[in-house]
Amino acid sequence: MQTAPQGTIAVIGQGYVGLPLAVEAAEAGWTVIGIDKSLGIVKNLNMGRSHIEDVSDARLAVLVKGKQYIASGDCEEISKATVCVICVPTPLDNDGKPDTSLLESAVKSVAPHLKSGTLLVNESTSYPGTLRDLIRDIVEKNRESGAEGIKFASAPERIDPQNKEWKLSTTPRLISGLDSEARKAAEDFYSTFCRNVVPVSSPEVAELAKLLENTFRQVNIALVNQIVPLCHKLDIDIREVIEAAGTKPYGFMKFYPGAGVGGHCIPVDPMYLLWKSRQLGIDLPFIEKADDVNGKMPEYVVERLLALAAGRESNNVLLLGVAYKPGVADVRESPALVVAERLKSRGFEVLYTDPLVENVSGIKPYKGEGLRGAIVITAQPGLDLGPLVSAGIPILDCTGAFKGISNVEQL
C-alpha cells in the first residue's frame, strides 16, 4: 500500500459494496462523499448509523465526526471529487435478463458533474463491454464536454459479506482501464487501501473474470445439489462425502448443497454471462443446466420435508433462517422465498424465524404456532432449534449445521 492519500472521492451507492469501500478509503486518508439516492440511508449514515453488517456504527461514527466521510443525496457534490466509483445494483429483470437500468441512471446523474481528469470506476458487476459500450456512451451523451478528459476504469468488487478472512483490503483487486492512463490511475487509487492490486489488459477481462468466478461457484454448487437425491436414496451423507473428497490435497474444491442459491451474485452473475453469450449466438449449456438444477432445489426441499412430516396434521411450516447466507440480513434472491412460494402454492401457511431479518414480505414471523414441520434454510447465528426438537417437530436441515440432533434430518 502507498502513503496516505489526500483528496476527495465520491462513491455512488452506499450498500453492501459502496459503504465498505467508502469507509476503507476514508480510513486510508481520502475524504469520501458517499452518494445514495435513498435519503433515509443518507440521514442514518450521517448520524453514524450503518445498515451494513461489515461496517460497525463505531467505525462509521469516527469518520463522520472527523469529516472524513459524509453521505449525501446530491450529485453536485461529485464535482469535488477526483475519483468517482459506481457501486449500484445490477439485478435481473422479470425475464432473467440483465437489468442495467440502475447503473444507467446512476451514470446519467453522475456524468454532468464529472470534472476533467476524474477517474470514473465501475465496481458494479456486469457483462463484458459494460464500461466501454454502455458507461462511456452515457457519459459521452450526458456531459457537456462528452467523455473527453475522463479516465474510465473497471474494478469489479469481490466482497463476501461477513467473511472474516478475506476483506475488501485483503482480497486481490482486479483493475483495468479503457487506456493505460486510466488503468494506472485506478492502480494508484486502489493501492491506497488494497494490499494486492492486479492490473489486467482490458476492462472486458476484469468484467468477465468477475462473472467467471461466480459462474464457477454456481456450476459447482449445482453439481453437489444434483447429487443430493442420489445420496438420499443411497442413505449416504453428502457432506461426509464432500469432506472425504476434500482430503485430496489438489484438484478438488469443497462446495456444499443447499435449498438453492441466493444473494446478489451467484444466481445473478451467470445470467449476465449467458445473456451476453446469447447475443453473440453462443450457447453456454453448463450455466443453463446449473441454473435449472439449483432452481429445482426449493421444490425438492419441500418434497423432502413433506415426506419427513407425513401423517402430521398442521398446515403450518416454519422456515428457519431466511437470509441468503449466515450473518447478514439480506434476503435478496434467498431460496427461502422460493421455498415459501412452493409451500404456499400447496396451501400451507408459511412462518419464519431469523434473528437478523425483521420483515419478509408474504411470510409471517413464527409465534409458537403448531407446526407440520420446519426447514433450516440458512444457519443464521442465534437460531435455537431446542424448543422444536423438544416438541418433536420434524426438521429438515439444508445447512449441515445441526447434524446429529434427533428429529433433524440432513438434506
Ligand X SMILES: NC(=O)c1ccc[n+]([C@@H]2O[C@H](COP(=O)([O-])OP(=O)(O)OC[C@H]3O[C@@H](n4cnc5c(N)ncnc54)[C@H](O)[C@@H]3O)[C@@H](O)[C@H]2O)c1
Taking the least distance from each CB to ligand X, the nearer of 2 and 359 is 359
- Could you say which of 31, 68, 72, 90 contacts ligand X (CB under 6 A)? 90
- Could you say which of 9, 10, 12, 85 contacts ligand X (CB under 6 A)? 12
Catalytic member of 75, 194, 265, 398:
265
Burial of 117 (0-12, 13-18, 19+ CB in 10 A): exposed
Taking residues 221 to 260 in sequence order and writing x for each that binds ligand X by CB under 6 A, - otherwise, the string is: ----------------------------------------
> Which alpha helices (H) appear in 262-382, and where do they start and end?
269-279, 285-308, 335-345
Q: Which stretch binds ligand X (CB under 6 A): 14-22, 283-291, 303-311, 375-383?
A: 14-22
Contact status: 15 vs ligand X (CB under 6 A): yes
By residue count, the chain amounts to 411
CA distances (Å), origin 223, targets 44, 286, 287, 291: 42, 10, 11, 11
CA distances (Å), origin 280, targets 273, 275, 289, 398: 11, 9, 19, 38
The neighbouring-strand residues paired with 374 are 318, 395
Contact status: 377 vs ligand X (CB under 6 A): no
- Could you say which of 87, 119, 120, 139 contacts ligand X (CB under 6 A)? 87
Q: Does the annotation mark 265 as catalytic?
A: yes
By beta carbon distance, the residue nearest ligand X is 15
Contact status: 16 vs ligand X (CB under 6 A): yes
User: Could you tell me if 327 and 164 are in contact, meaning their C-beta atoms sit under 8 angstroms apart?
Assistant: no
Q: Which stretch binds ligand X (CB under 6 A): 24-32, 84-92, 308-316, 348-356?
A: 84-92
Contact status: 14 vs ligand X (CB under 6 A): yes
Least distance in angstroms from the C-beta of 104 to ligand X: 9
Least distance in angstroms from the C-beta of 219 to ligand X: 18
User: Could you tell me if 374 and 317 are in contact, meaning their C-beta atoms sit under 8 angstroms apart?
Assistant: yes
Taking the least distance from each CB to ligand X, the nearer of 106 and 197 is 106
Taking the least distance from each CB to ligand X, the nearer of 325 and 372 is 325
- Count of chain residues binding ligand X (CB under 6 A): 28
Binders in 154-213 for ligand X, by CB under 6 A: 157-159, 161
Q: How far is 312 from 277, CA to CA, in rounded Å? A: 48
Q: How far is 109 from 129, CA to CA, in rounded Å? A: 21
Least distance in angstroms from the C-beta of 246 to ligand X: 25
Q: Identify the sign of the CA torsion 357, 363, 368, 371.
A: negative
Q: How far is 312 from 316, CA to CA, in rounded Å? A: 10
CA distances (Å), origin 78, targets 131, 156, 392, 407: 19, 21, 59, 57
Contact status: 270 vs ligand X (CB under 6 A): no
Contact status: 335 vs ligand X (CB under 6 A): no
Measured at the CA of 31, the angle between CA 27 and CA 37, to 5 degrees, comes to 105
Contact status: 83 vs ligand X (CB under 6 A): no
Contact status: 111 vs ligand X (CB under 6 A): no
Taking residues 27 to 66 in sequence order and writing x for each that binds ligand X by CB under 6 A, - otherwise, the string is: --------xxxx--x-------------------------
- Angle between helical axes of 269-279 and 203-234 (0-180°, round to 10): 120
CA dihedral 236, 337, 339, 378 (to 10 degrees): 30
- Could you say which of 9, 10, 11, 17 contacts ligand X (CB under 6 A)? 17
Contact status: 360 vs ligand X (CB under 6 A): no
Contact status: 359 vs ligand X (CB under 6 A): no
H or E, element range at 140: helix 136-142
**Of the candidates 253, 90, 73, the residue with the CA atom closest to the CA atom of residue 156:** 90
Residues in touch with ligand X (CB under 6 A): 12-18, 35-38, 41, 87-90, 102, 105-106, 109, 124-125, 157-159, 161, 264-265
Active-site residues: which are they? Answer: 265
